[in-house]
Chain A
Amino acid sequence: MSSKKDSAPDKAKSGFSRRGFIRGVGIGTSTLSTGLLEREAAAAPSTAKTAGPGPVPITLQINGKPMNLTVEPRVTLIDALRNHLDHTGAKKVCDRATCGACTVIMDGKSVYSCTVLAIDAQGKKIETIEGLATGNNIHPISAAFVNNDAQQCGYCTSGFVMATKDFLDHNPNPTLEEAKHGLCGNLCRCGTYVGMRQAVLEAAKTIKGGKRA
């Protein structure tokens, strides 16, 4: 297991935080980070490509499959998933990048999909909770949530499961303190955090070494 640790990205040791989450969103929408905007502007071709305002055909890579849909450019990724593709595992709750119920993983990084435009998600690898289970077997993280009763109404659960996946992908052997820090970008109203803390640690043990094949 220690050898696997070397292959983990550098960021792993610094853990994961709300700030990191928001940074992730910033990359997604190309709006929050001035530095990024400048870099992207420099790299952009001189003829600016515009889309919309009417519906435009786009393709999203979701759980390894290309999916075609037609959306207005203002449609967010969460609305594209829920309203256009019937991927309703991710939930729209705060709709402004606070609660994490809409968490999906984009190019290996968890993002709040309520604050990513669907058109900006083109060409990126999007993982949603619908892609986690293999056949009839739920993913070990989902199983750990069940085993530790880390859910009540369950409306935040999909987001927490995806946040946990991203966290464990980057930090496969977390301590309890790291787990608490790693999931602080999501909110639960029923108060299931006690079970969740255990669920993250159990899932880490089950998965053994992070990324599943």
Chain B
Amino acid sequence: MPDTPNYSWPPMETRKVIGKPYKRVDGPQKASGRAKYSSDYNAKGLLIAAYLTSPHAHARVTKIDTREAEDSAGVKAVHVIAPAGAEIQWEGAEIAAVAATTEEAAQEATRKIKVEYEVLPHVVNEADLSKVGTRAKAAGERLRGDPDKGFQEAEAVSEGTYGIPVVTHCCLEPHGQVIQWQGDQVNVWPSVQYVSGYAGSLAPNLKVPVANIHVRMDYIGGGFGSKFTPDAWGIAGAELSKKAGGAPVKLFLERATEQMIAGNRPSAYAKIKVGGKKDGTITAWQSESWATGGVGGGGMPPIPYVFTEIPNVRLNHSAVSINAGAQRAWRAPNNQQASYLTCSAIEDFAAKIGMDPSEVILKNAGYTPRADTYRYQVQKAVEISEWKKYWHPRGDSGSGTVKRGLGMGINNWGGAGHQSQCRTTINPDGSVVVEIGTQDLGTGTKTIIIQVAAETLGLPFNAVKLVTGTNDLPPDGSSGGSTTVGGVSSSTRKASVNALVKLFDAVAPSLSAPADQLEAVDGRVRVKSNPAKSLTWQEACRKMGTSKISETGTNEQRNPMGLNTSGASGVQIADVSVDTETGIVKMNRFVAVQDCGMIINPRLAESQIFGAIIMGISTALFEKRVLDDQTGRMLNPDMEFYKLAGIDDIGNIMVHLDIRPEMDKRGVIGLGEPPAVGICAAVGNAVANAIGVRVPTMPMTPRHVLNALEERKA
């Protein structure tokens, strides 16, 4: 068939598998404890490795002696990462690694490594810009319109200072891998968000041909943007394996090290001035922001967020270099910060002019790239949350000590599909195998691939066998930026259509109809104009003879052919109660209205949104990396003082997926990130609404709340 086949998604009303709430295919394996994560892999002859890490935030290694560690019982290999002369830029940085026959022996041996340091001066906190000295680097002013004139002409001006701290990814499965390096062959079982790209990153470091690196990952225990590459531990593990004569080595970070060096969300602080009219129209924005993501500083979040067309804007930003582990992508990089800073400043402007902030957002929707969508979403969120009933002017929340308030946050994200290739094989016995070198982070990737293949081939869900998780499969992009669902669904669709075209060619003579007049529906191949003229799927496949059909399909990132697209936005509302005596903030309800394109599996899509919101509530109420000025060390590299939300901390969550037909027509859009964006904004605004004063710094801990109340009294 010379023409390009029709890859477009079947119309909403004819879908049989897509759009249905199938349970995740790997659910039973996970819920029965049988799923083998890479960190569960007990290879034969396995050695376990441990790291020695730096206790100093900034130092130079002057001497390192590993002899005693090498002689320690059970030790098979010691690998020095920071030799004498190496400069250490943060606590937790890797000094050396030891592989031994048991975990305890490896840990004990690390304590026998003698290291001498020249301790150097450190800076670890950026919240107070006046104290960081030369560590702040100004990025240069950015201007739009005439902000000075804008503020002069403004009928009202509000000012505020806002901060959102560094938080960690805190993946439950730590970073690491089991790796075996024998001769020029490497086998590796990593915990990674990019199975297809892992070998390409590792190979130059080991000077081994890429094709000799065999990667396998069946399950991953969380990534959230922090697990894209082999990292230093991939290389260290490989070196240990080689030194130990090719034994497999398991090197996964201990929790403390995980918290210190395996990724974090950069901070963002800003002094923001907003000017506008008393009808709510914003006319001017000025901000001086600063941020850190470690030694490399931190970029400016995209502020003003979403309201990108505010006419008069002045932006100044400083990147602050501190001695702490480096930032990594954290579920919508820099968008939470931007949403928090922007929505907080707009809420304060609304309070200044005595206007309902939802009205102010509506009033200024024209400044956003998707005005109609935001207007619809604000109204929908207001309706679902009964905003008009529960919202009140700031601070006007009754006489009791427990105050209730509502606040709004907004989100925006891309989410178009990444480059992805899939292979669909139809066997003469009718069995179907779909292969793709992707990974399922718990988002439901495996499940939705099967749904797309089954829908395309007119088969039931359980007729499709899926193979993923190794790097000898058709390559798939990294699971970052909410790009996976668009990528794999589109490549699977195309591969399966291509395979079906071949099957129709084989079947056409038997049905006495042209191949392009056939369709696969309900487990049969039939003539479109005369559905009674048909073969069962198995009969049709037998027409292939003894050879199988195996076709690939590729989602070209630059030409997704309408199968996937970019641009998901949402509006979120938090409803909180604040005890003004204890400072404790309690979530009552959380409402999320989310634009989502074409939904392949509503159950899993909803779970993504619940998850994003819960993670967001956790950051809004509890999470903060605490570094000590004096020692330069992290005070909460654990999970009892680095707090995550528990099952009783999250209130009731209401999700409204915007699945109107006009949204469905846009194609598939990633959902992992957008709903994670607006939560700090919504919660911070709800607290301000409740207690009548802005709590300037996330998270909304009792201390921050009480400090803000105390300052108001003063």
Contacts and interface: CB of A to CB of B under 8 A. Distances in A.
Most buried by A among B31, B36, B647: B31
A129 B33 contact: yes
Interface stretch (A33-41, A192-200, A205-213): A192-200
A192 B638 contact: no
A82 B639 CA distance: 21
Contact of A83 (B48, B220, B615): B48
A89 interface: yes
B639 A98 contact: yes
A132 B48 CA distance: 29
A203 to B, nearest CB: 11
A193 B103 contact: no
Contacts of A183: 646-647
Nearest to A141: B31
Interface in B268-313: none
A56 interface: no
Given A146-B23, A155-B172, A83 B42 contact: yes
A190 B614 CA distance: 8
- How many chain B residues sit at the interface, stated as a range, is 35 or more
A153 to B, nearest CB: 3
A193 B647 contact: yes
A130 interface: yes
A155 B37 contact: yes
B7 interface: no
Interface in B59-89: none
Contacts of B39: 91
Given A153-B441, A187-B644, A197-B647, A90 B103 contact: no
Interface string A132-169: 11000011011101110111111111100100000000
A189 B222 contact: yes
Interface in A9-27: none
B223 to A, nearest CB: 8
Given A72-B102, A94-B638, A95-B254, A192 B607 contact: yes
Given A95-B255, A138-B31, A194 B640 contact: no
B613 A191 contact: yes
A56 to B, nearest CB: 13
Contact of B104 (A74, A89, A128, A156): A74
Nearest to B37: A155
Nearest to A187: B644
Nearest to B610: A194
A15 to B, nearest CB: 12
Interface in B592-620: 603-604, 607, 610-615, 618
B442 interface: yes
Given A128-B33, A153-B441, A138 B28 contact: yes
Given A181-B648, A191-B612, A191-B614, A147 B23 contact: yes
B607 A145 contact: no
Interface string A54-82: 00000000000000000010110001001
Interface in B179-235: 219-224
B659 interface: no
Nearest to B256: A95
A115 B644 CA distance: 20
A90 B33 CA distance: 7
A194 B103 CA distance: 36
A143 B31 contact: yes
Contacts of B640: 94, 96, 98
A16 to B, nearest CB: 12
Contacts of B42: 82-83, 86, 88
Contacts of B646: 183-184, 186-187, 193
A93 interface: yes
Interface string B9-48: 0000000000000011011101111111101101000001
A174 B40 CA distance: 33
Nearest to B27: A146
Nearest to B440: A153
A191 B613 CA distance: 8
A67 to B, nearest CB: 15
Contact of B28 (A82, A91, A130, A142): A142
Contacts of A116: none
Nearest to A139: B32
B347 interface: no
A149 B447 CA distance: 12
A101 B23 contact: no
A146 B172 contact: no
A153 B222 contact: yes
Given A149-B24, A191-B611, A180 B37 contact: no
A155 B28 contact: no
Contacts of B618: 191
Contacts of A192: 607, 610-611, 614
A204 interface: no
Interface string B637-657: 011100011111010010000
Contact of A189 (B24, B103, B615): B615
Interface of A: 72, 74-75, 79, 82-83, 86, 88-91, 93-96, 98-99, 101, 128-130, 132-133, 138-139, 141-143, 145-147, 149-158, 161, 180-181, 183-184, 186-197
15 contacts: A83-B103, A89-B34, A94-B255, A96-B638, A98-B640, A149-B23, A149-B27, A151-B24, A151-B31, A153-B173, A154-B31, A155-B172, A155-B221, A180-B647, A191-B650
List the 6 closest pairs (A to B, CB-CB), nearest first. Answer: A89-B33, A191-B614, A155-B221, A154-B30, A152-B442, A153-B442
